[in-house]
Structure 1
């Protein structure tokens, strides 16, 4: 069965886990053409969307658990309050997609073009972005708790007010990034390349402590 086109409702947003939600489990959507559709309150579990055409897809209140999105085309798609939990984005095309109030908890991104996507009020807790090119992106206010940012390129990125508690920043490039108001751990600061990074006083004290300095 393929997901069908359905109109959005402005008055209600179905709970993806609530009564009446149709759960599609283990379905094969490889190479499916699903572009331009509008999905609301749908739930997909361990479904395979490899090479699927999802361009200009709109989702609202949908849930994707353990789904494979390898090489899927999400170009110009729009997502509101949807959850993509423990999903695989491997060489997924995400150009000009917009994500608002979404959860990407525990998902893995490999060789995805991320610099043209828009993330607003999203939860990226435990997300793997190892080696990702995020240069110049606006990631302000995002939750990146315990995210794997090892070797990521965050030069000139806006991370103001972002929550990076427990994030892995080994060899992460933060040159000229804006970390003012961000929440970080001292060990992470010691591991990252922070040449020219803009920080507030609290972060500066943490950075000094991480390098063995005593601020008095």
Structure 2
């Protein structure tokens, strides 16, 4: 099957639902409102370097969709239905996730989230007010990401890179942060209740406070 290459195309709602697309190129394409439930994209490009524009997935259904080794830089994921979305080993710099819904509502007050965003570059992505609780979010680069009002309660953020990152702007209680580069995290200003840290991280955080940790062995 020849490699799929589309440019400035409007994607019909059910065109790729449940399909597996490998090494495709989608330049300046409009996936808004498309149903991509169970669709797999492997090694695909959604970013046009010439115009520096990403694709629009605004209001798309991304339930259990998967992007592996893809370039999703500058993509518009606003208002997507994204329960179970997988993004793995991909470029996602500057992508906009505002309004993306990773939740399954069981009742008016009960819900759970599901997302697998792993080993990806999320630098300068916008997660403002997004709820990603108890999700698999490890080994990502979060440098400069906007997480104002977001909730990562109980998620696995281990091995991440958090430079130029405002820890005060989101909720991180009960997260796994072991092995992460914590940037300018100030334990005096951020609620770290239930957060998992390793001993090397703790030494670094205490050192910033001017406290000398003495080995009493």
Shorter-chain TM range is 0.7 to 0.9
Match of 2:140 in 1: 142
SS at match of 2:97: strand
Is 1:87 equivalent to 2:75 in the alignment? yes
Query: Residue 162 of structure 1: CA displacement?
Result: 1.3
Distance 1:83-1:190 versus aligned 2 partners, 3 A rule: farther
Q: Deviations over 1:19-45 (max 9, x none)?
A: xx7653322226454312222212122
Superposed displacement of residue 109, structure 1: 0.2
Aligned length: 196
Which 4+ stretches in 1 moved above 6 angstroms? none
SS of alignment partner, residue 157 of structure 1: coil
- Shift, 1:85, TM fit: 1.0
Q: Give the drift of 1:174.
A: 1.4
1:170 is paired with a residue whose SS is helix
Mapped partners of 1:189, 1:24: distance in 2: 48
Unaligned runs of 5+ in 1: 1-5, 8-20
2:6 is aligned, of 24, 29, 38, to 24
In the TM superposition, residue 88 of structure 1 has moved relative to its aligned partner by 0.7
Aligned counterpart, 2:63: 75
SS at match of 2:202: helix
Match among 45, 59, 62 for residue 63 of structure 1:
45
- Choose from 121, 124, 147 the match for 1:123: 121
Corresponding residue number in structure 1 for 2:34: 52
Does the 8 Å contact 2:46/2:73 carry over to 1?
A: yes
Q: TM-score, normalised by structure 1?
A: 0.79
**Distance in 1 separating the partners of 2:146 and 2:123:** 9
Task: Kindly state the Cα deviation for residue 127 of structure 1 after the two structures are TM-superposed.
Answer: 1.4
Mapping 1:110-189, distance limit 5 Å: 110-114=98-102, 115-187=113-185
User: What is aligned with 2:109?
Assistant: none
Unmatched 5+ stretches in structure 2: 48-53, 103-112, 213-217
**How many Å separate the matches in 2 of 1:43 and 1:73?**
20
